[in-house]
Structure 1
Amino acid sequence: MSGEIDDSMDIVDEKSSCIVRRFRLLSSAQRKITLGEILSCCTSEEISYIDQKLPDFLYRDFVTTLPLELAERFLEYLTVKDLLTACRVSKPWNRIISGMKIVWRNHCLKFGCNPVTISLSYPKNTCIRGMQIQQDLCDGSAWTQDAIVNLVKSPGRFSALHHDRGYIAGGTSDSIHTHANQDSSESVVIWSVENSSVVVSFPVSGSVSCIKLNYPSLVVCGHFDGTLSSHQVSGNTESDITPGGLLNKFRLHTAPVLSLDFDESEDVLISGSADWTVKVWQLSTGSLQRTISSHSHWVLSVIFTPSSKHNIQNLSGKDIVVMMTRDDIQMYSWIHFLKDNGESLKGLNISDIHIPLKSVTDAVQSFFFTPGLHFDGKTISFVKQMPMFDSHTFGDADIVTIDAVVVDLKYEKIVGGCTVPHSRATTPDFSQVCTGKLDWLDGFSDDSTNGLVCCLGLQDSSMHTVVWS
């Protein structure tokens, strides 16, 4: 009996194979006609069986069945929101899609995440955080603003600001500029961004035109009377110097000091003035080491970079100062004066680099200045010019800062920002405005998206801060 059943099954298998072979030889149109005739002959039970089998052919799970490399090629075209939706389809999908590191890393870069801080083991979390930050920037909730009042008495105002390590140094200026040998109501205030409180406040002799803080040890002020002063920030029990105590006065400029830079470890202070000179000082003693006077206009900005912090091969072993006037940008270099007794400084007559700006200003007006000079140890950067006329007195040029804007340079679009109040320029380089931590400009991360974004000194005697929410 069993033999007869086996024979009958073989006959069925043979007929099925024959039918399948003939079906494959048909054209597409003939196949459709044949399928229609077959379906018309099926019972309800057979139609139900076909209905159960069709999803296996129509809705194949390519995420789990395809090789991972091919699945990634398909999924990389989805947006992050679509990928997150796909992760909720099933546990296998969530496991596979969440583990596609290349897909998530590429999206991290699109959202502006810092490549160095992208998680190697689970970049999906970094991507979600980057998407949240960019969305917050877009809808204006990434930053919060605050007006800090009652730190100085009117008509005094914060004419110079600088940020370092979470602290803001603000120097004040009145409508009447005083001299160093007269009593002065001007002051310097050190403000903690994190605690929203004054760390130390102390008087200074003369209206402050520019300032730089190295917290917690030192703050140096440039003054409108042509002097500079260095002050202890924290107390020093060894020398009995109280917080804010005067360390040194630097005299010899004959016009307002418009810019300064220093490096405490190198014991160097650089100052640029409206007397068309740049001076190199020994920071600890106040002694003048060299005057660089080959300039045709006010020195708007100076940047000092010691030999250990730049990557210019042909100037290896030399300290560098980059300076900018209305007409040009120049770079000078020398061997540190403590290493060769100042011999290199004595021969400092010709600049290593000269970038003319005069041709740009001639195309518009000869009274234009270029605010914003930057040197990262390898590249010099500066922005286009904007008007500030010689006929105005200092601080009388009505430059209005309206928007703080974040621009995605790769995709050339604005991704967010905020509107800030009016701020009148104290100097051509806008010393009444300072920026906070700039790490986030190299890419978003949890460590970089906190603290101060920028701070402005306003005409109503207040400081206006913009911080990460």
Structure 2
Amino acid sequence: MKMLEALPIELQEKICSFLDGATLLRATCVSTQWNRIISGLQMVWRQASLREGFGTPVKDWKLHYVTCVRLLQRLKKGKAFQHRHFAPKCFQCSDVRDVVFWNGCILAGIKKCIRVWRVEDLKPAAVFDVPYEIFCLSVSFNNHVLGVGHYDGAITTWLLDEVEVRASLLQCYVGHRDNVVCLCVAPELNLMCSGSRDSFSVRSHASSMNKGCPIEWKTHNQLLEEGFTMFRMELEMKVSFSIGTKVSFSGVAGST
């Protein structure tokens, strides 16, 4: 029992690094001393976490590993999520067009306004009015910009204030001739993409958004053709490199 205690920490880490997470947890149950020693080997628990795909940087890697394992087990049993019935009396369920999560809040697009509730207590936090009827919502990855797709084909972007829970209009974009059904806003990439029922997909640079003009219009068929062309060019380059001869392929997108 005292053999592990007598070893220097370098050898403790070396020996325990050969064990998987489940074995490490069983080893902590041997005795109080083993639990104290093994639980303190942060590099070992970090390695075990990364091996299982639990790679978020944390201070206590053992706690992180145990938490992730328990959550994974609950996911497999369908018990990882808590469900709460939420039906505010200020609107009918049929009025809700889209719902997104932002900074601990629920944002719901309802006709020409966006209502905000805090997740922790489901109490109203704010209401944003928008100029056109809402079809879809999208929050950027950095949680700073909200994109709103409208029924008439317009798109508006809003700067979100996390402290005061409010939104300020950034820009309105026009170009689509029908409902904007999907939207992705990525200011960190200087890019915004949108899709509409008019069979067009639009890609816009944030630098050109001051004028509200898209930089590129493509139909869905054009996007498929573009994807096939890029695949064909990549394949030609790989084959040419492998045999040292220029090779060209011909075909039509969607053909076998």
What's the TM-score, normalizing by structure 2? 0.61
- Paired residues for 1:45-84 under 5 Å: 62-63=3-4, 68=11, 72=15, 76=19, 79-84=23-28
Aligned match of 1:224 in 142, 147, 151?
Answer: 151
Aligned match of 1:117 in 43, 52, 58?
Answer: 58
Distance 1:130 1:257 in 2: 38
Q: Which of structures 1 and 2 has the bigger CA Rg?
A: 1
Partner residue, 1:271:
194
Greater share of residues in helix = 2
- Paired residues for 1:68-467 under 5 Å: 68=11, 72=15, 76=19, 79-88=23-32, 91=33, 93-100=34-41, 103-109=44-50, 112-114=53-55, 116-117=57-58, 119=60, 123-150=61-88, 153-154=91-92, 156-172=94-110, 185-213=111-139, 218-231=145-158, 248-263=171-186, 269-279=192-202, 280=204, 282-286=208-212, 288-293=213-218, 295-296=220-221, 327=224, 330=227, 359=254
Q: Is the 8 A contact 2:200 2:217 kept in 1?
A: yes
Return the letter of the residue paired with 2:153: G
Query: Deviation at 1:86?
Result: 0.8
Please tell me the root mean square deviation across aligned C-alpha atoms, in Å: 4.6
Distance 1:245 1:65 in 2: 63
Distance 1:170 1:264 in 2: 22
Relative contact order: is structure 1 or structure 2 higher (C-alpha 8 Å, sep ≥ 6)? 1
Report the 3-state secondary structure (helix = DSSP H, G, I; strand = E; otherwise coil) of the residue aligned with 2:57. helix
Query: Deviation at 1:251?
Result: 2.9
Change (3 A) 1:71 1:194: same
| Residue segments in structure 2 that go unaligned for 5+ positions in a row | 235-250
Distance 2:134 2:55 in 1: 37
| Residue segments in structure 1 that go unaligned for 5+ positions in a row | 1-59, 173-184, 235-242, 298-324, 332-350, 364-469
What's the TM-score, normalizing by structure 1? 0.38
Percent of aligned pairs sharing the same letter: 20
Alignment size in residue pairs = 228
Query: Deviation at 1:61?
Result: 6.0
Query: Deviation at 1:157?
Result: 3.4
